[in-house]
Amino acid sequence: MADRRYTKTHEWVVVDGKTVTVGITDFAQSQLGDVVFLELPSAGRKLAERESFGVVESVKAASDLYSPVAGRVTAVNDKLTANPELVNSDPYGDGWILKLELTDDLPSDLLDAAAYKQVTEASAH
Amino acid sequence: MPYLVHTEEDRASMLDSIGAHSIDDLLVDIPESLRIAALDLPDGLSEYETMSQIASLAARNRVFPDRLTFRGGGVYRRFIPAAVAAVTSKPEFYTAYTPYQPEASQGTLQAIFEFQTLIAELTALDVANASLYDGATAVAEAAMMAHIHTGRNEVVVAGYLHPEYVEVLRAFGEGRGIKVRQGTTPGPKTAAVIFQQPDFLGLLVDAATLTENAHAAGALAIACVDPISLAILAPPGEYGADIAVGEGQQLGLSPSYGGPHVGFISCRRELVRRLPGRLIGTAHDKQGRRGFVLALSAREQHIRREKASSNICTNHSLCALAASVYMTYMGPNGLRQVAEVSFKRAHALAERLAKLPGWELAFPDRQFVNEFPMRVPKAPAVVRKLARKGILGPIEVQRWFRGLKGVVTFTCTEVNDAAALDELVAALEA
Amino acid sequence: MTELLSFEKSRQTANPPRLPEADVKAPDPSQVLGPDQLRKKAPGLPHLSEPEIMRHYSRLASMNYSISEQFYPLGSCTMKYNPVVNEVAAALPGFAGLHPYQGEDTVQGALELMWRLERALCAVVGVERVTLQPAAGAHGEWTALRMISAYHRSRGDNRTEVLVPDSAHGTNPASAALSGFQVVEVKSGPDGRISLADLESRLSPRVAALMLTNPNTLGLFERQILDIAEMVHATGAMLYYDGANLNAFMGICRPGDMGFDAVHMNLHKTFTTPHGGGGPGAGPVGVKAELVPFLPTPTVERTNGHLTLDYKRPRSIGRVRSFYGNFGMLVRAYAYVVAMGGDGLTQASRDAVLSANYLRKQVENDLEMPHEGPCMHEFVASAQNLAHEGVKALDVAKALLDRDFYAPTVYFPLVVPEAIMVEPTETESKATLDAFAAAIKEIVAEAKSNPQALHDAPQNLPVGRLDEVAAARRINAYLQGLSEDPVLRWKGGEK
């Protein structure tokens, strides 16, 4: 099982060679509430590390999505068009958002599960 | 003192509960140096004295009778059915708050949902919002939509768009680095081409071609339209425009020295996410009952904060309600009748005016609906002469367009009866 | 109770309204205009008779709560009584019948009213001039920021940032961004008041302005406002006042004296113009001398008793709307100010502060109070103490609707979890306040004995809680072309 890493802005990333899968965490989806829409880029778009690439919307909130890595978008989860609720029900599986091909090294400051847990405990109220 | 409810006993009792001696005890956080002894305003008055003062201010204004008003320029005298005021003066409508608690606001929400449908139908576009402040800010908001949608930062104004709308467009654009160019040819930097139909002079423009040319350049086409004219003229949806905007004052609102009136905006499906302001949609409760709610709130400023496409927090709900009542009262046949009668009276008047010595249609090859430009000798004297006879005459457009010296625009609606036209012509012939 | 849409009741064969005939010899539009200029398909407006229309709207009206019938304890909204005489004033033909392009000599009364209202607002907030042009609060806010931007640019000063407290209302950062500024948040301390330390760290030559409301969104007076003003001005930045909470201290103190350079006001809050179900309102902005040249055009000027509109303002930010402002709302606000006078406005604020503190005291053991009193004209409580029972601020709000009260503001300010913001205003009787407190106690008790009842609220209204998530998903399906039900309008053939 591939190792999952996290960002402070609540994205997760799983690395498989040069391909990287990105989504939002369980904590993020529970904070947002029921997801109703995602504004996502098209395949081919180049993203810089930490660049904002889209928005995830619920009825009461809209959060920007930030790319954890520098890469080129190779796939977008088009199931999310008709079923945005997959982000809530299966944030780490069927609710994945993007696949990217790395164009640079992985950032060194990606968090492991323990470090990310600390982030969520600090921000939960 | 008027409108205050507490007696001295109430105040004493409340202070006692709080454990304070006087209200000043509650104001401890305010630094002494900021405390003022009193406001520099006269003391309050009785209702009788208040209304006397207000009435004397009203009496210092001159109101021209509807039927002798021939001035337009964005605000028009129309027949307003009694039903409109009967509905908007219901306290449940006019003193209601914004419908954030939908279960307690179904009256407002449904009425405005109907407004959205009426405007979408009138403009033949997919979705309309719950209204904006006025036609001018509606134009500006549409330009912002186009800027965000295309990523381009130039807006082309084609032809005679209401000069005050252009001013507002420029003011809004400055804050976002958007350039406004008067012209007819869109370019690679153009986010949108904006035109008015009929234009500020009342003349019809070639909306279809303007729309085509905008699209050919990759820009959006924004049509600023007269809602009553849409009963007879091709609406924006029929010629492929992307966004329709306009001023809804003619739909049941009195002139009221320029406000409050109501702006409207509608657009194609693809652009709906960019719409500013409020949107109302249908929803259901656990029992399956249909209700109405504020929808797509994630676009709006209270959620997106600095990323919102607009900061608009309100709509002109009560004015939109008036417009709804008006459009529902008229129905498609009534609205058509209003537009046709206005058309005929204006054309009859234009023909008679063109016979006056030295008078001519300023643009004889162009069509109009019920507002039209005449070129006349000594325009200021004409307006003054009419005023002396109790007639509110045409607008001198030279005030905004230096190239249109001696040009004035006349408006004719269903309230200018045939006898009023006779009086106008007689006054001019004298 | 339900009411179909007008469209659903429409019958094609209904008689159109009787309207005058043209009575002139002139061609039909179809005889003059080309086929491509004419409408091909008639608009789908409903066909209804007048009795059906009046019945329809009366039934809709009965499905609304309104301040004429229910108490609205909405924080930062100042839902006070809307004097009925103001409606009479605004409807006078001498006001309602004025065309905005009439010559100035025919509208001296209207201009005089605007001038007098401007003078009165200057006196209340302590500024030099006021623009009455903005149509709404957020509109006024944006107008003020544009003036501040123009001021800095006129001095060759390129300032790109605006500071906004983290407790601010969403329009603040939105307006700032739309004025071309970058928004930087300033932290508030545990009492909701601005952290001076954080403010100091954010101030720099890049900052154009700090936006503040006072009292803040927790109903607490910024005690250190004079220090704040000094710090801000020392760096050459300006201080902007959000007038949402002006009802707290009319006649007691003035924003102008606190050092605010631009003072925004809401006529539909502090000055009783009716909310109309979401507008129209008016958002005048007062300014100190440095900002006067940048006021929107035209301004109203008075010389020897004669009033004129001044268009010769070369440094003005231009127009922010057509014509002169929401004149009908200006009439209402002016009538209120005349009736109340300086003494009445002062007592109004004093009573507003008294009522808020009284009500706070009545419920202080039922809800959590995150900050110590006294408060000013509003207070923020928290439903966090009900979290154990799984009850949220939203449930409390809906339960209040069932008890014939409109709900307070919930989930704002964001800095307080499960926030409930309450502003009673001065026009609610002690009996009403007591009844509200009793309702809160009943709801808190029910949270412990039967929380499900609160989750099911409201039960007594035309509809229960509506599934906004399902609605949003249906809308997004339509917007993405996956469905033809627009949801945002009625469409022929569908419900």
Which residues of chain B are within 8 Å of residue C278 when distances are taken between CB atoms?
Answer: 97-99, 108, 112, 130, 278, 314-315, 317
Taking the CA of residue C278 and the nearest CA in chain A, the distance in Å comes to: 19
Percentage of residues in chain C having pLDDT higher than 70: 99
| Nearest by CB: B99 against C258, C278, C331 | C278
Longest dimension (CA), chain A: 38
Residue type, C453: A
Name the H helices within C364-450. Answer: 393-402, 430-449
Name the H helices within B36-134. Answer: 47-59, 82-88, 91-94, 106-123
Asked if A60 lies within 8 A of B303 by C-beta distance, the reply is: yes
Whether residue B55 has pLDDT greater than 60? yes
Q: Does C81 touch chain B (CB under 8 A)?
A: yes
Whether residue B301 has pLDDT greater than 70? no
Which residues of chain B are within 8 Å of residue A31 when distances are taken between CB atoms?
Answer: none
Q: Does C482 touch chain A (CB under 8 A)?
A: yes
- For residue C151, the SS3 value is helix
| Nearest by CB: A82 against C411, C475, C482 | C482
Asked if C472 lies within 8 A of A85 by C-beta distance, the reply is: no
Asked if C482 lies within 8 A of A81 by C-beta distance, the reply is: yes
- Residue A125: its pLDDT value, please? 42
Query: In angstroms, what is the C-alpha Rg of chain B?
Result: 25
- For residue B197, the SS3 value is strand
DSSP C462-482: SS--B-HHHHHHHHHHHHTTS
C-alpha B394/C-alpha B412 separation (Å) is 10
Asked if C472 lies within 8 A of A37 by C-beta distance, the reply is: yes
| Nearest by CB: C335 against B43, B50, B127 | B50
Closest chain B residue to the Cα of A35, Cα to Cα: B298
- Residue C381: its pLDDT value, please? 96
Closest listed residue to residue B260, CA positions, set C278, C142, C72, C178: C278
- Residue A1: its pLDDT value, please? 46
Residues in chain A where the model's pLDDT stays below 50? 1, 125
If you average pLDDT over each of A110-124, B86-100, C189-203, which comes out highest? B86-100
Closest chain A residue to the Cα of C411, Cα to Cα: A60
Q: Does B56 touch chain C (CB under 8 A)?
A: yes
DSSP C275-289: -TTT------EEE-G
Q: Does B181 touch chain A (CB under 8 A)?
A: no
- Residue C192: its pLDDT value, please? 78
Closest chain B residue to the Cα of A57, Cα to Cα: B298
Taking the CA of residue C65 and the nearest CA in chain B, the distance in Å comes to: 5
Task: Count Cβ–Cβ pairs < 8 Å, chain B vs chain C.
Answer: 684
Query: By CB neighbour count within 10 A (0-12 exposed, 13-18 middle, 19+ buried), where does B196 fall?
Result: buried
- Residue C495: its pLDDT value, please? 40
**3-state SS of chain B: helix, strand, coil percent to 5?**
45, 15, 40
Closest listed residue to residue A40, CA positions, set A72, A81, A71: A81
C-alpha B273/C-alpha B296 separation (Å) is 8
Asked if A82 lies within 8 A of C472 by C-beta distance, the reply is: no
C-alpha C259/C-alpha B269 separation (Å) is 48
Q: Which residues on neighbouring strands pair with residue B154, listed in sequence order?
A: B179, B190
C-alpha C199/C-alpha B339 separation (Å) is 59
What residue ranges define each of the domains in chain C, with the CATH number in brackets?
Answer: 6-61 (no CATH), 85-340 (3.40.640.10)
Residue type, B281: G
**What's the number of CA atoms in the CB half-sphere (13 Å) around residue C270?**
28
Asked if B307 lies within 8 A of A62 by C-beta distance, the reply is: yes
* Fold of the CATH domain B66-80+332-429: Aspartate Aminotransferase, domain 1 (3.90.1150)
Distance from chain centroid for Cα C63: 22
- Residue A124: its pLDDT value, please? 55
**C-beta neighbour count of B129 within 10 angstroms:** 29
Tell which wins on pLDDT, B309 or C240: C240
Q: Give Cβ neighbours of residue C28 (< 8 Å, ≥ 6 apart).
A: B340, B343, B344
Closest listed residue to residue C250, CA positions, set B35, B15, B3: B35
Closest listed residue to residue B311, CA positions, set C417, C130, C270, C283: C283
Residue type, B327: M
The per-residue pLDDT for range C324-340, each reduced to its tens digit, is 999 999 999 999 999 99
Mean per-residue pLDDT for B95-117?
A: 97
C-alpha A23/C-alpha C180 separation (Å) is 32
Which residues of chain A are within 8 Å of residue B307 when distances are taken between CB atoms?
Answer: 62, 64
Cβ atoms C208, C162 nearer than 8 A:
yes
Closest chain B residue to the Cα of C409, Cα to Cα: B100
C-alpha C351/C-alpha C427 separation (Å) is 8
Cβ atoms C238, C395 nearer than 8 A:
no
- Residue B306: its pLDDT value, please? 56
Closest chain B residue to the Cα of C88, Cα to Cα: B51
Q: Provide the 8-state DSSP code for B239.
A: G
Query: By CB neighbour count within 10 A (0-12 exposed, 13-18 middle, 19+ buried), where does B158 fall?
Result: buried
Q: Does A64 touch chain B (CB under 8 A)?
A: yes
C-alpha B296/C-alpha B183 separation (Å) is 35
C-alpha B181/C-alpha B36 separation (Å) is 51
Q: Does C142 touch chain B (CB under 8 A)?
A: yes
| Nearest by CB: A59 against B297, B304, B307 | B297
Closest listed residue to residue C295, CA positions, set C304, C284, C303: C284
Closest chain C residue to the Cα of B294, Cα to Cα: C468
Asked if C417 lies within 8 A of A125 by C-beta distance, the reply is: yes
Q: What sign for the dihedral angle of Cα C484, C487, C488, C494?
A: positive
Mean per-residue pLDDT for B65-76?
A: 98
The per-residue pLDDT for range B331-354, each reduced to its tens digit, is 999 999 999 999 999 999 999 999
The per-residue pLDDT for range C335-365, each reduced to its tens digit, is 999 999 999 999 999 999 999 999 999 999 9
* Fold of the CATH domain B83-323: Aspartate Aminotransferase; domain 2 (3.40.640)
The per-residue pLDDT for range C294-320, each reduced to its tens digit, is 999 999 999 999 999 999 999 999 999
Distance from chain centroid for Cα C305: 34
Query: Best mutation site among B39, B147, B355 for testing chain C: the one with the most C CBs within 10 Å?
Result: B39
Mean per-residue pLDDT for B151-166?
A: 97
Cβ atoms C349, C250 nearer than 8 A:
yes
Q: Does C177 touch chain A (CB under 8 A)?
A: no
Q: Which residues on neighbouring strands pair with residue C309, listed in sequence order?
A: C300
Residue type, C200: E
Which residues of chain C are within 8 Å of residue B42 when distances are taken between CB atoms?
Answer: 341-342
Which residues of chain B are within 8 Å of residue C174 when distances are taken between CB atoms?
Answer: 301, 304-306, 308, 310-311
Residue with tokens 């890469």: A71
- For residue C317, the SS3 value is coil
- For chain B, what are the domain ranges? 66-80+332-429, 83-323
**Selected residues 295-314 of chain B with any CB under 8 Å from a CB in chain A:** 297-298, 303-304, 307
* Beta pairing class for B371-375 and B360-361: antiparallel
Whether residue B313 has pLDDT greater than 80? no
| Nearest by CB: C279 against B93, B116, B314 | B314
Mean per-residue pLDDT for B305-330?
A: 85
C-alpha B231/C-alpha B107 separation (Å) is 27
**The three-state (H, E, C) secondary structure of C94-147, written as one string:** HHHCCCCCCCHHHEHHHHHHHHHHHHHHHHHHCCCEEECCCCCHHHHHHHHHHH
The per-residue pLDDT for range C27-56, each reduced to its tens digit, is 999 999 999 999 999 999 999 999 999 999
Region of residue C332 (phi > 0: left; psi between -120 and 50: alpha; otherwise: beta): alpha
Distance from chain centroid for Cα C442: 31
Which residues of chain C are within 8 Å of residue A59 when distances are taken between CB atoms?
Answer: 468-469, 472
Percentage of residues in chain C having pLDDT higher than 90: 91
Closest listed residue to residue C488, CA positions, set B117, B387, B268: B117
- For residue C398, the SS3 value is helix
Mean per-residue pLDDT for B2-28?
A: 97
Q: Does C477 touch chain A (CB under 8 A)?
A: yes
Whether residue C170 has pLDDT greater than 90? no
Q: Does B171 touch chain C (CB under 8 A)?
A: yes
Which residues of chain A are within 8 Å of residue C472 when distances are taken between CB atoms?
Answer: 36-37, 57-59
Query: By CB neighbour count within 10 A (0-12 exposed, 13-18 middle, 19+ buried), where does B356 fall?
Result: middle
- Residue C173: its pLDDT value, please? 80
C-alpha C14/C-alpha B332 separation (Å) is 11
